[in-house]
Structure 1
């Protein structure tokens, strides 16, 4: 990604950071550490790519979130055992 999704300036930097996500069932929100994150030097926006957002949403939909801690590392979250092989409800 070489352009900012918000202001379309160049100079976007890939890093990592914490994001907060509501679980699909709405029971709680969690903090996901070390999530791939883009930062714009011009406008200051900090955001995730559409691909990363989809990865998180699919994974949270496909794992058992009952015993999920309030804080989890991105890589740890992505490695959690899935109840289904893929999101069969995603028609995109």
Structure 2
């Protein structure tokens, strides 16, 4: 858990599981991802995901057959989807 809000820097934050909406890498549609690990700030009411989690979700969506996903999926089920590649070979950031 972070020790302060990424937006207002308040220390009044907590971990939560939230519903988020994500555009697929091919841009054809968006999906609802339920129970996504998130941070909630009680000061500014911001709900957000860590940069590491955003990258994890984006990599997973890039590496799986998204045609097999309906309009909504849980975070756990999304991360369990079989990958077509072992890793994102197009990510040159690491």
Query: Within 5 A, what are the aligned runs for 1:65-80?
Result: 65-80=66-81
TM-score, with length taken from structure 2? 0.95
Query: Within 5 A, what are the aligned runs for 1:6-85?
Result: 6-85=7-86
Instruction: Kindly tell me the number of residue pairs found equivalent between the two proteins.
Output: 92
Unaligned runs of 5+ in 2: none
Structure 2 match to 1:88: 89
TM-score, with length taken from structure 1? 0.97
SS at match of 1:66: helix
For residues 50-82 of structure 1, give each alpha carbon's deviation from its aligned partner in whole angstroms, at most 9, with x where no partner exists. Answer: 111011000000000112110000000001000
Using the alignment, how far apart are the partners of 1:66 and 1:77 within structure 2?
A: 12
Using the alignment, how far apart are the partners of 1:67 and 1:81 within structure 2?
A: 11
Using the alignment, how far apart are the partners of 2:68 and 2:60 within structure 1?
A: 15
